[in-house]
Amino acid sequence: LSFIRSRLRMAVRPNRISPAYFEGEIVRPSAVDSLLIFSILYAATAALFGLVYAAFGLDFETALSASVTALANVGPGIGPVIGPAGNFATLPDPVKWLLSLEMILGRLEIIGGILILTPDFWNE
């Protein structure tokens, strides 16, 4: 929370120097930026895939839960379909393929997965 407070202070007064602290040590701004980028990409990926799953006919709770479950590579989701008493077998096949892709993105820590999809990665 220290870095969020620091960024808000800098937004109000751009010339102000307000470092973020973690365990009494100053955190480099590049580390804070990397953390924020990762967090935003993680949330955006989960939301985007959740919307895609909802477009395939899943209810919003199941769609978002499936997305977060796949991206984080953790246990059962929430809801009647993929909850603790359910499984992913009843989901449409395209959704299962997308869930598999999302699991791979989650294992590659998203940034690596997105990096592979950029043309600059293949040109170098």
Tell me, yes or no, whether 70 lies in a domain.
yes
CA-CA distances (angstroms) from residue 113 to 45, 58, 83, 104, 118? 11, 25, 27, 8, 9
Q: What confidence tens digit (pLDDT) does each residue in 12-71 have?
A: 887 777 777 778 888 787 777 777 888 888 899 999 999 999 999 988 988 999 999 999
Residue-number span of the structural domain to which 74 is assigned: 38-123
Tell me, yes or no, whether 32 lies in a domain.
no
Tell me, yes or no, whether 75 lies in a domain.
yes
Tell me, yes or no, whether 3 lies in a domain.
no
Tell me, yes or no, whether 69 lies in a domain.
yes
Is residue 76 scored above 70 in pLDDT? Answer: yes
Tell me, yes or no, whether 24 lies in a domain.
no
CA-CA distances (angstroms) from residue 116 to 36, 110, 122? 20, 10, 8
pTM, to two decimals: 0.72
Number of domains in the chain: 1
Amino acid identity of residue 103, one-letter, is M
Tell me, yes or no, whether 18 lies in a domain.
no
Tell me, yes or no, whether 108 lies in a domain.
yes
